[in-house]
Amino acid sequence: MSPKNKTNKSGDFDVVQYFLNLMEKDKDLNSGIAAIKTLLMILEKKQFETIHILHETMRNAVDAMRRTDISIAAIVSGGELFCRFITLSLDDKHMEECRQIMLHRGKIFLAKLEQSRIVIARQAALFVTDGCRVLTHSRSRVVLQTLITAAKSNKQFHVYVTNGGPDNSGSQMCRDLEKAGIETTLILDSAIGYVMESVDIVMVGAEGVVESGGIINRVGSFTMGLCAREMKKPFYVLAESFKFTRLYPLNQRDLPDEYKYRAKDLSDVSKSHPLVDYTPPAYITLLFTDLGILTPSAVSDELIKLYM
């Protein structure tokens, strides 16, 4: 579908172009935060006659962002949580008054989420001990910040980083860690089993945290979880709360195709490589979030609180 299609726009505001520009300008910006910033800009630029029209406009905007080639897990969850938060308890108010309240709430919501990596890094860094060996998968911004935070506490440790196909972003993770003075080794994704017996902990990020407490993350995460459990290594997930999503996959096939493949590849997924996989909660030791340190079984309760 063309970016010029009317569903991509809100008035004269091009939703997709604004969203993609945000992602292009800041390579470390999460797609969920970019989606929330885009929705906030729609609120600033457009007048709404009713709450129903606002909801429809926001839903169309999220749908437009989902049709880009950006991984959609955080776009969906971030968009849903943002809309839920800003529209709570707005009865008996004029629409313009509602819009101003929603703008104020949206800015508070965004500011809080932008601090979530720092909150998670402070918690998780305590689990990186002096002299330990850490295994991580590809490049995760929140894992990177956690390891840098741990290093600033005068801890010496070594990090094994998978190459992270198909875009090989693990090499960028290694450069970022080495720049911070952290010893690293870049390994093949297929070497996870070989390296696992040598590491003390596994730390990965997540593109989405589902209702069961499992995660959607870069393909290969499930393999890492399997190996970690078999070799009795703690498998820690670091994820911001805006990635919590109302989805309950039972296995890999049960995860919707739009989560696993780029939009341009959905017409024939048999010829495409999945970008993410699903790691069930049984393979996860703890989740470090801005809501606190959670067991997988506690995620469903937190989701209920988020969407109440």
pLDDT of the residue at 6: 41
Q: What was the pLDDT predicted at 273? A: 84
**Alpha carbon separation from 54 to 7, 95, 245 (Å, rounded):** 14, 10, 22
The H or E element containing residue 211 is none
Q: Which domains does the chain have, with CATH numbers?
A: 6-114 (1.20.120.1070), 117-307 (3.40.50.10470)
* Bridge partners, residue 208, by sequence: 216
For 268-306, the pLDDT digits (tens) are 777 788 889 999 999 999 999 999 999 999 999 988 888
- The whole-number pLDDT of residue 12 equals 66
pLDDT number for residue 229? 96
Tokens representing residue 175 in the block: 């450069």
Question: Tokens at residue 282, please?
Answer: 């049984």
Question: pTM, whole model, 2 decimals?
Answer: 0.86
Beta strands in the chain, from DSSP E residues, in sequence order: 9-10, 13-14, 133-136, 158-162, 183-187, 201-204, 208-209, 215-218, 235-238, 276-279, 286-289, 292-294
Residues in the chain with pLDDT values less than 70: 1-12, 89-93, 308
